[in-house]
Amino acid sequence: MFQRILIANRGEVALRVIRACHDLGIEAVVVYSEADRGAPYLRLADQAICIGPAAATESYLKPANIIKAAEMANVNAIHPGYGFLSEKADFAHMCRACGIEFIGPPEEAMRRLGDKNEARKLAKQVGVPVVPGSEGLVESDKEALAFAEAVGYPVLIKAAAGGGGKGMRIARNEMTLISGLNAARQEAQSAFKDSSIYLEKYLEIARHIEVQILGDRNGEVVHLWERECSMQRKHQKLVEESPAPHLPTSVREAICDAAVRLTKAAGYYNAGTCEFLVDPQNRFYFIEVNARIQVEHPVTELVTGVDLVREQIRIAAGEPLRFQQSDIEHRGCAIECRINAEDSQTFRPSPGTISHWQPPGGPGVRLDSHVITGYKVPSYYDSLIAKLLVHQPTRADAIAVMRRALAEFRVEGIHTTIALHREIFNTSAFVDGRVDTKFVERVLRPETQSN
Ligand code: ADP
């Protein structure tokens, strides 16, 4: 097993990995930018190393600075968390070439699945349904127009290297398709240095359901059931839960089976997630693989009792999976609310100093957060400040406990999504489990709908 791990990330996920290291008796070294200097979670690490200025491109996204810190601290492995360099195959390669294990999948699997268009091809090869889409990358406007004509509008323009909703545009007619193609290409080029795009049929009503998997270096892959992530704003998740409400058992099993088939075919190991869209007829379509730990992983930890971050570390250290598919239980219902520093009406970021922080607690509540009273939320990074989770025997109980926890939660000095979550948990359609990816924008914030 490793003796020391460097965490190439910040905020709540850095703290999550520090805790997993300590639970395994491993020393945790964390890096930080100048904007995160003095952040309280850094004190919980065994060592903290500054890797550059506030801008992520000068610090958390700078492979050379991170490798230098790892060599200085003499670590055996690097945990990338999520975001930043976590899905960069070149970074994984660089770590391993320097004799430092990258806690994640093999580079080849990252390359293959990181390109969404390639991942779609592989899915088709192994009989996993994909959203109807262009045959491959779309090179010209003419090709795009022909595809849209054939499948019918609306269509969704997507960046092959995409993530975080960047490079994604809905086109409802020829005019918005042409302008959207240009805008998406530019956005993808500046965000990912890759302007490749492809098209999918845009599903007006869909649920986002994803499957957690774990695989080891011996080619064993198990799934840890699904998470429902349909409660979103701006195509980004707000609430995640497991099990997915009202999903027929046969569909649930078929989705989980598809996720295992696909990741096995890619030669995948470590933790990963296969994301699907599910239409009102319960037909499911693969959209992408996230080749890393995800923000919402604690939902799965609560219902299965498996500590995913510890398992990631064990797998990276070469240990075989300690369980088979039949050992993975699913108990009760877990729900997560993402607490972001943002205006709950407009979804604009709300950085600044937290003048009062009073988190909820008590039976059935888990809070993953790196902030305390007096913490200054920097404006440079993602606005996630906490993940509030509950675990109960039934969904109705979980909703009741979440309502209580949200009522207890007090944050002053900045705006947060807590107010929006309180609304969600008091909306009857959500309580009934009738959710889809447009729910928040259609039911609660119609003024924010893009098109
Ligand atoms: P990203 O990696 O940029 O987050 P994803 O492919 O994971 O993009 O999609 C994010 C969200 O966008 C999905 O959860 C869903 O709400 C929406 N979405 C993606 N593809 C489609 C589609 N073909 N039709 C309708 N909505 C979609």
121 domain-assigned: no
Residues of the chain with pLDDT under 70: 450-451
What letter represents residue 274's amino acid?
A: C
187 domain-assigned: yes
Sign of CA dihedral 322, 326, 327, 328: positive
Q: Which of 153, 176, 201 is the last residue of a domain?
A: 201
271 and 153 inside one domain: no
Q: Which residues face 32 on adjacent strands?
A: 50
Which atom of ligand 1 is found nearest the CA of 202?
24
309 and 335 inside one domain: yes
CATH number for the domain harbouring residue 278: 3.30.470.20
* 192 within 8 A of 61, measured Cβ to Cβ: no
Out of 208, 286, 295, 382, give the residue to mutate to test ligand 1, the one with the largest number of ligand atoms within 8 Å of its CB. 208
Task: For residue 298, give every residue at least 6 positions away whose Cβ sits within 8 Å of its Cβ, in sequence order, or none.
Answer: 334, 336, 366, 368, 387, 389
141 and 18 inside one domain: no
The three-state secondary structure class of 391 is strand
The residue range of the domain holding 70 is 4-103
169 and 83 inside one domain: no
CATH number for the domain harbouring residue 165: 3.30.1490.20
36 and 90 inside one domain: yes
* 437 Cβ closer than 6 Å to some ligand 1 atom: yes
Which atom of ligand 1 is found nearest the CA of 165?
3
85 and 190 inside one domain: no
126 domain-assigned: no
311 and 376 inside one domain: yes
Domain count, the chain: 3
* 164 Cβ closer than 6 Å to some ligand 1 atom: yes
Alpha helices for 266-369 (secondary structure H) = 297-304, 308-316
CA distances from 50 to 33, 248, 376 (A): 6, 50, 18
120 domain-assigned: no
Which atom of ligand 1 is found nearest the CA of 200?
23
193 and 78 inside one domain: no
* Smallest CA separation from ligand 1 atom 1, residue: 163
Q: Distance, CA 103 to ligand 1 centroid (Å)?
A: 26
Which atom of ligand 1 is found nearest the CA of 437?
16
Which atom of ligand 1 is found nearest the CA of 166?
3
* 131 Cβ closer than 6 Å to some ligand 1 atom: yes
363 domain-assigned: yes
Note if 292 is an active site residue.
Answer: yes
Q: Which of 140, 173, 201 is the last residue of a domain?
A: 201
* 278 Cβ closer than 6 Å to some ligand 1 atom: no
Q: What are phi and psi of 172, to 5 degrees?
A: -105, -10
Task: For residue 396, give every residue at least 6 positions away whose Cβ sits within 8 Å of its Cβ, in sequence order, or none.
Answer: none
pLDDT of residue 385: 98
Q: Distance, CA 387 to ligand 1 centroid (Å)?
A: 22
* 160 within 8 A of 196, measured Cβ to Cβ: yes
Give the pair of three-digit tokens for residue 188: 């993808």
Q: Which of 85, 103, 121 is the last residue of a domain?
A: 103
Q: Please give the Cα distance from 87 to 84 (Å, whole number).
A: 8
* 238 Cβ closer than 6 Å to some ligand 1 atom: no
The three-state secondary structure class of 417 is coil
296 and 417 inside one domain: yes
* 168 Cβ closer than 6 Å to some ligand 1 atom: yes
What are 88-113's pLDDT values in tens digits? 999 999 999 999 999 999 999 999 99
pLDDT of residue 95: 98
* 400 within 8 A of 170, measured Cβ to Cβ: no
Query: Which of 252, 292, 314, 395 is flagged as catalytic?
Result: 292
Q: Distance, CA 169 to ligand 1 centroid (Å)?
A: 10
* 287 Cβ closer than 6 Å to some ligand 1 atom: yes
* Smallest CA separation from ligand 1 atom 7, residue: 288
Q: Distance, CA 155 to ligand 1 centroid (Å)?
A: 12
321 and 388 inside one domain: yes
* 435 Cβ closer than 6 Å to some ligand 1 atom: no
Which atom of ligand 1 is found nearest the CA of 232?
16
295 and 335 inside one domain: yes
127 domain-assigned: no
233 and 145 inside one domain: no
Out of 287, 294, 442, give the residue to mutate to test ligand 1, the one with the largest number of ligand atoms within 8 Å of its CB. 287
CATH number for the domain harbouring residue 25: 3.40.50.20
pLDDT of residue 282: 97
* 200 Cβ closer than 6 Å to some ligand 1 atom: yes
* 113 Cβ closer than 6 Å to some ligand 1 atom: no
What are 116-163's pLDDT values in tens digits? 999 999 999 999 999 999 988 999 999 999 999 999 999 999 999 888
Q: Distance, CA 143 to ligand 1 centroid (Å)?
A: 22
356-358 and 410-412 strand pairing: antiparallel
119 domain-assigned: no
Give the pair of three-digit tokens for residue 46: 């065994």
Give the pair of three-digit tokens for residue 41: 């979670």
Please choose, from the candidates 113, 106, 157, 438, the residue with its C-alpha nearest in 3D space to the C-alpha of residue 259: 113
* 180 Cβ closer than 6 Å to some ligand 1 atom: no
122 domain-assigned: no
